[in-house]
Structure 1
Amino acid sequence: MAESLTPKQVAEHSTVETGLYIIIDNNIYQMDSFVEEHPGGAKILKRVGGKDASKQFWKYHNEGVLNKYAPKLKVGTVKEEAKL
C-alpha cells in the first residue's frame, strides 16, 4: 500500500515507535523493522528519521542496495505541501 505523504507528515515518523520513515530521492522508506539489521548501526538511521536522507544514503551506498531493500521497505512517495 503506497502512500503519498508530505514532508511534514513524514517528520511525524521520526522514531522507531512512530514508524521511523526516511526519504531517499522522494521515496519514503519505513525503517523501524530494519534498524537493528542496519550494518552501519541503528544510531545512523535514528538520526535521519523523519527527514530526507538522500545525501547521507548516496554517500555510503550504491543503487544495488536500494534495489535490494526497496521492495520490502518502501511505503510511499513524497508529495508537495499545498502553498497558501
Structure 2
Amino acid sequence: MKSFTIEEVAQHNKPNDLWIIVDGKVFDLTDFVSEHPGGKKVLVKIAGKDATKKFKQFHNDAIMQRVGLPMQIGVIGDADGRARL
C-alpha cells in the first residue's frame, strides 16, 4: 500500500478532490461525497485532515469494513513505512 505524508493528504481538500485520514489510513472520498448520508458539507469540513475522532463519533467498525476499506488508497508513513501521526 502506498505511503503518504500528512502534507500530501492536506492538498486534497476540495469536494472534487477529497482525501481524509482515519486511524493512520488514507481514504479518497472524492467519488463518495455526493453519496454521504450526512451530506457533502460534513466531508468538506474534514477534507485533507485527520478525521479519526469525528469518524468514530458517528460510525462503527462495521461501516469501515463494508464501506470505507474499498476507498483506502494508502497509509500515513515515512519512507520506511513507519507511521508519522
Normalising by structure 2, what TM-score? 0.86
> Please, which runs of 5 or more residues in structure 1 have no aligned partner?
none
How many pairs are equivalent?
79
Shift of 1:72: 1.9
In structure 2, the gaps of 5 or more residues are: 80-85
Corresponding residue SS for 1:50: coil
Q: Which amino acid aligns with 2:6?
A: P
- Out of 18, 38, 45, the position equivalent to 1:20 is 18
Aligned match for 1:35, one of 25, 33, 36: 33
Identical positions, percent? 34
Query: Which amino acid is the alignment partner of residue 21 of structure 1?
Result: W
Residues 1:52 and 2:80 are matched in the alignment: no
Dislocated runs of 4+, deviation >2 Å: none
- Give the structure with the higher percent strand: 2
Q: Report the Cα distance in structure 2 between the residues aligned to 1:33 and 1:75, rounded to whole angstroms.
A: 13
Instruction: Give me the whole-angstrom Cα distance separating, in 1, the residues matched to 2:70 and 2:15.
Output: 17
Supply the distance in 1 between the matched residues of 2:68 and 2:37 (Cα, whole angstroms): 16
Change (3 A) 1:32 1:6: same
Residues 3 and 78, structure 2, Cα contact 8 Å, conserved in 1: no
